[in-house]
């Protein structure tokens, strides 16, 4: 099914999003502040980029030596890679970092330095996930074979064990991303007409992906193998550790925002229609978590305020904490839920309970009964 065939219900409380946008805009007007990055965001940008590139420079120049210190650098790079993904390139590729499109493009391009490709990322995340959150067949974030993330997805026998093996596949996320996923997605998105929407042909996109993958491998694997004074297998191990940290971190942060017990899942009817309008759909399919942890919220780029992010992806995440009470109160006034978990661990527990229910089919029975 083409994504253009999916239609939201424009008659479903359209006054909710109108009132919400009015209040959010008023907040920025009253406080005379920009919706984009502030000084704190700039400082965070320097910190996250440094967490990734400083250890890399120390490794390539052999400023650190010994197996343990070298592996520690790779570990730090893993967290830096995660921070770049959640805090920097994420906002930039949403156009939320700056009013200047060139700054957004520059900082958004950094996803290529951590093994991705900015065009396919934008399509999967901005176009598909944000438009059709938790919609089976349209949200690529829940479209996997190994892990069943939607009650509308076919259930295989091996899915009954997914609550136990999911962590393994989550940890491989960026390794898969940097090797095969971008090429597979290009072919898929080309058939759906989404590559053309980015102003590219399939051939040009394939050339770009190949080029970026080659220099990424040279920078993060070939040069370390050639220059770092440790056995080659230690460098390979460090490289894998970096990606395992980042893959697991990113997967758990994003999945706990949507695939949890409180959120809803949808599939279009035969005419391609969904029952809610877009804004209400985002509220129903998204959950916040761990809002009281200042460092955690800082490090993951405010993605624990996922409801605010999905409703206002063009606003820099440093503002979400202040917007949260506005969104919650407005949702309450319109008799809408505001899903949230007190801590990240509570959300994580709910996610794995959901994986178990989806894997065993118990949640399917609940939906049928409902």
Task: Give the HSE-up count for residue 52: Cα atoms under 13 Å, Cβ half-sphere.
Answer: 26
C-alpha torsion angle, residues 81, 83, 88, 94 (rounded to 10): 100
The pTM assigned to this predicted structure is: 0.92
How far from 309 is each of 16, 131, 212, CA to CA, in Å? 16, 12, 29
- For 323, the enclosing helix (H) or strand (E) is helix 320-333
Q: How remote is the C-alpha of 60 from its chain's centroid? A: 30
Measured CA to CA, the distance from residue 4 to residue 7 in angstroms comes to: 8
| Counted domains in the chain | 1
Over the chain (370 residues), the average pLDDT of each successive run of 10 is: 71 93 98 96 96 97 96 97 94 96 95 91 93 93 92 94 97 94 93 90 94 95 97 97 96 95 91 91 97 92 96 97 98 97 97 96 61
List of long-range contacts for 333-336, beta carbons under 8 Å, 24+ apart: 333/19, 334/13, 334/15, 334/16, 334/19, 336/13, 336/16, 336/280, 336/283, 336/284
Per-residue pLDDT at 145 = 87
Do residues 332 and 19 touch, judged by C-beta distance below 8 A? no
Per-residue pLDDT at 96 = 96
Helix (H, G, I), strand (E, B) or coil at 150: coil
Task: Please give the residue range of the domain that contains residue 331.
Answer: 3-369
Angle at 363 between CA 359 and CA 369, to 5 degrees: 150
Across the strands, what pairs with 266? Answer: 135
How far from 343 is each of 87, 108, 170, 263, CA to CA, in Å? 20, 29, 21, 16
Q: How remote is the C-alpha of 236 from its chain's centroid? A: 26
**Residue reference for tokens 């396919």:** 120
């Amino acid at each position: 099914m083409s994504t253009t065939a999916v239609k939201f219900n424009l008659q479903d409380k359209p006054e909710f999003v109108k009132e919400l946008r009015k209040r959010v805009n008023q907040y920025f007007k009253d406080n005379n502040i920009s919706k984009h990055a502030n000084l704190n965001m700039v400082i965070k940008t320097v910190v996250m980029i440094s967490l990734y590139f400083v250890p890399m420079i120390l490794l390539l120049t052999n400023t650190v030596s010994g197996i343990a210190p070298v592996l520690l650098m790779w570990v730090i790079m893993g967290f830096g890679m995660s921070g770049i993904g959640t805090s920097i390139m994420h906002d930039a590729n949403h156009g939320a970092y700056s009013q200047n499109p060139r700054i957004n493009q520059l900082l958004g391009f950094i996803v290529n330095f951590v093994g991705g490709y900015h065009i396919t990322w934008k399509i999967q995340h901005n176009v598909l996930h944000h438009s059709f959150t938790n919609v089976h067949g349209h949200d690529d974030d829940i479209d996997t074979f190994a892990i069943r993330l939607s009650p509308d997805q076919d259930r295989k026998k091996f899915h009954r064990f997914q609550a136990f093996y999911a962590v393994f596949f989550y940890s491989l996320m960026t390794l898969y991303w940097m090797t095969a996923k971008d090429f597979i997605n290009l072919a898929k998105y080309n058939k759906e007409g989404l590559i053309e929407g980015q102003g590219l042909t399939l051939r040009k996109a394939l050339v770009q992906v190949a080029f970026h993958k080659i220099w990424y491998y040279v920078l993060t694997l070939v040069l370390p193998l050639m220059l770092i004074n440790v056995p080659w297998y230690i460098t390979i191990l460090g490289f894998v550790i970096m990606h395992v940290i980042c893959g697991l971190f990113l997967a758990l942060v994003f999945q706990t925002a949507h695939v949890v017990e409180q959120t809803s899942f949808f599939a279009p009817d035969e005419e391609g229609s969904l029952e809610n309008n877009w804004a209400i759909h985002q509220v129903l399919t998204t959950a916040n978590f761990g809002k009281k942890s200042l460092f955690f919220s800082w490090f993951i780029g405010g993605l624990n305020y996922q409801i605010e992010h999905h409703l206002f992806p063009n606003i820099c995440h440093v503002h979400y904490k202040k917007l949260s009470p506005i969104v919650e109160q407005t949702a309450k006034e319109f008799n809408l839920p505001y899903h949230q978990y007190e801590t990240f661990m509570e959300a994580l527990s709910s996610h794995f309970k959901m994986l178990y229910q989806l894997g065993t089919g118990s949640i399917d029975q609940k939906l049928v009964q409902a």
